[in-house]
Structure 1
Amino acid sequence: MHDAAAPAAPAATDLVAALDIGGTKIAGALVAPGGEILLRAQRPTPAREDGATVLAAVRAVLDELAADAVRWRRVSALGIGSAGPVDASAGTVSPVNVPGWRDFPLVEEVRPAVGPRPVVLVGDGVAIAAAEHWQGAARGRAGALCMVVSTGVGGGLVLGGRLHPGPTGNAGHIGHISVDLDGDPCPCGGRGCVERLASGPNIARRALAAGWRPGPDGDTTAAGVARAARSGDPVALASYERAAQALAAGIAATATLVEIEVAVVGGGVAGAGEVLFAPLRRALSGYATLSFVRDLEVVPARTGTDAGLLGAAAAALALSGGAGSRPPAATR
């Protein structure tokens, strides 16, 4: 008589699923405890379509990840970093650049795909902060502002060595600090916001309005302005100087309020390198003058184009109590 076979041991749940949702793409990944991306999936964002069509793209990404059944069984949680505003407490998203989603119940809508696993939603700026604190330039730092300067300007905070998303998942959204009281109206409804002065489209807009013209390649983006600035074009340099001044004012204000020790700057505009960072550091020395913020560092981000995915995974680990070697916990 043979003994009955012992039941199979349950699969280890040491991976995290991550979604990075933006206006141009919806990216997904399965992420290992050490930050390695084991599997990727991606779809274009049908940003001008209705909400159901956008959701279908999200589900397609999740379905592609779940098709690897062996790894999917190891997933402990799903982290979502989304363009905002988001409301983590309600599980809803209202991305400015996805009109079909307004107070869209994203967490509820993805639950059928992930079953009983926890779902953690944060804004994309908070995701950047989670990524940089876990794997990037803010690793080991007790207090950090991590920023993405691109089509918009977003950010997230690490305070007391812990991710600080705030009650709705939007804490640290530096792009909509007003730094010019009589400045241009911002699409957010404010005036003179950091984003209105320092985002890529606004750097290019200001340079063009002041008389700058692109080179033979016809590139009228902020990257084209940066190339002209490296060649010494005074109008291009002035546009980056103005962006750097706005960023410095916002960073200094944040540091004065919460005593961060480092500001990490990533995103497409940060790709300008010293065209941005040199005037940013100069301007910061004129704003961060109090003794407790005078030594504030400004450094480039390190997590690159995977920041959104790594950040969504890191936030899920920190906020869900996921298994494995997780990043430091979060405070709300």
Structure 2
Amino acid sequence: MTILALEIGLEGFAATLVGEEVADEEIGRVPLPSAAAWATCRDLLLEVSRNHEITAVGIGSSGPIDMLAGVVAPAEIPEWRTGFALVEAVQKTFPGATVHLALDGVCLGLAERNFGATSEVMDALSVTVSSRICAGVMVGGFVVVGRTGNAGHFGHVLVPGFDDLCECGGRGCVEAVAGGSSILRWAHGQGWIGNSVEALVEAAGGGNEIAVAALNRAGTALGRGIASVAPVLDIDLVVIGGTVAKSGPALWKPLTAAVATHARLGFLTSLRVIPSELDGIGVLAGAGVLAMMARVPA
């Protein structure tokens, strides 16, 4: 029995065979193409699964998705924005396999629940902050999927004090302030000329005022977003990963300060916010868990 995991990410496709753990060096990756997205994805799956009989496939995709229909519509892939029947396409590629789809945030929650920091708690939020922001919500030990499979869109929680225009069409979404692309866009608007979050973090470490301000407002927005959802979910742990989460004190200091300022109810006094240890493989590892949970026994 061989299980295949696929991630439809913000910058590319990633796939791996699933064993006891997902090792980064065993992951096949390709950047998002400008055209022929499914052909590129299919070729990656066939390359990774070569010489193996695939019996189950787990897919973690950026949203929005329609889990029941097996359709994805990520904004990063123009061909798929109106909906692509990904599950059907994968099933045609591996006719004998069961195929299961979940939002990237759900997969992230499954990975943290099985391999990461939330394995010893019952109620938690697992957040990835990269170009965009996704999250996995765990309540009572179970990762919440939602009516359409889209539970976990933490990036579209509204945060007070901000009016930045979001790509969803709304204003004041945490992703519009704290997503990697949004941080860079704001910094560029203030006159900073670097081209990556990593460069921005380095500039902040050197005392660049624009870089410091960009990460300060991102951390503040994240902290306010966490403080907004924490009392709704009654959680005691938030785990944050992703490229932006590696920004160091310039991000984490305002983040934790905002949580401390706004999460003041008595039942939130034990709330912890900590960095993830999954180091970028959470969604893919969670897709593997999804496939193992849902597979049909031989």
TM-score (norm 2): 0.92
- Secondary structure of the 1:292 match is helix
Provide the residue aligned with 1:7 in structure 2.
none
State the Cα deviation string for residues 223-248 of structure 1 (Å, max 9, x = none).
22211222233332222111111111
Match of 2:116 in 1: 136
Secondary structure of the corresponding residue to residue 148 of structure 1: strand
| Aligned position for 2:172 | 192
Question: Residue 62 of structure 1 is aligned with which of 34, 45, 52?
Answer: 45
Q: Which has the larger radius of gyration?
A: 1
Alignment match of 1:164 (pick from 144, 152, 162): 144
Structure 2 Cα separation of the partners of residues 62 and 202 of structure 1: 32
**Residue 276 (structure 1) shift:** 1.4
1:108-187 matches, within 5 Å, as 108-180=88-160, 183-187=163-167
- The Cα shift of 1:306 comes to 1.8
- The match for 2:78 is 99
Report what 2:279 is aligned to. Answer: 304
Letter of the aligned partner of 1:144 in structure 2?
A
> Residues 282 and 88 (structure 1 numbering): CA distance in 2 closer, same or farther, change over 3 Å?
same
Give secondary structure in 1 for the equivalent of 2:268.
coil
Q: Does 1:267 align with 2:242?
A: yes
1:8 match: none
Structure 2 stretches of 5 or more lacking a match? none
SS, match of residue 63 in structure 2: coil
Paired with 1:149 and 1:200, the residues of 2 have a C-alpha distance of 7
Q: What amino acid maps onto 2:17 in structure 1?
A: L
Give runs of aligned pairs for residues 23-102 of structure 1, distance below 5 A.
23-32=10-19, 34-37=20-23, 39-46=26-33, 48-49=34-35, 53-69=36-52, 72=53, 75-101=54-80, 102=82
Q: How many Å separate the matches in 1 of 2:128 and 2:149?
A: 16
Alpha carbons 1:92, 1:106 under 8 Å: kept? yes
Deviates more, 1:57-66 or 1:266-275: 57-66
Can you list the C-alpha shifts for 1:15-63, whole angstroms capped at 9, x where unaligned?
A: 421001124321111111x3244954333321x31xxx21111211221
Displacement, 1:209? Answer: 2.6
For structure 1, the residue ranges without an aligned partner over 5 or more in a row are: 1-12, 325-332
The 3 A distance-change label for structure 1 pair 297 and 323 is: farther
Contact 1:156 1:170 in 2 (8 A): no
The count of residues paired between Structure 1 and Structure 2 equals 296
Residues 47-93 of structure 1: CA deviation (Å, up to 9, x unaligned): x31xxx21111211221233223xx3xx5421001121111111100
CA deviations over 1:287-324 (Å, ceiling 9, x no partner): 11111122211111111132221011122233x15669
Query: What is the one-letter code of the residue matched to 1:267?
Result: G
Higher mean Cα deviation, 113-122 or 140-149? Answer: 113-122
1:112-153, Cα deviation, whole Å (9 max, x unpaired): 222243211111122222222221222222111111111111
SS in 1 for 2:88: helix
| Match 2:209 to one of 221, 234, 246 | 234
Using the TM superposition, give the Cα deviation of residue 105 of structure 1 relative to its aligned residue in structure 2, in angstroms. Answer: 0.7
Is the 8 Å Cα contact of residues 266 and 304 (structure 1) preserved in structure 2? yes
- Identify if the C-alpha distance between structure 1 residues 41 and 227 changes in structure 2 by more than 3 Å, giving closer, same or farther: closer
The structure-2 alpha-carbon separation of the partners of 1:294 and 1:323, relative to structure 1 and needing over 3 Å to count, comes to: farther
Cα distance change of structure 1 residues 323 and 86 upon mapping to structure 2, 3 Å threshold: same
Relative to structure 1, is the Cα distance of residues 276 and 182 closer, same or farther in structure 2, using a 3 angstrom cutoff? Answer: closer
The alpha-carbon deviation at position 195 of structure 1 amounts to 0.5
**Does the aligned pair in 2 maintain the 1:270–1:276 contact within 8 Å?**
yes
| Whole-angstrom distance in 2 between the partners of 1:222 and 1:274 | 14
Q: 2:78 is paired with a residue of what secondary structure?
A: coil
1:80 to 1:129, Cα distance in 2 relative to 1, 3 A: same
Distance between the aligned counterparts of 1:92 and 1:44, measured in 2? Answer: 21
Report what 1:10 is aligned to: none
| Cα distance change, pair 180–57 in 1 and its aligned pair in 2 (3 A) | same
Task: Return the alpha-carbon distance in structure 2 between the equivalents of residues 181 and 246 of structure 1.
Answer: 8
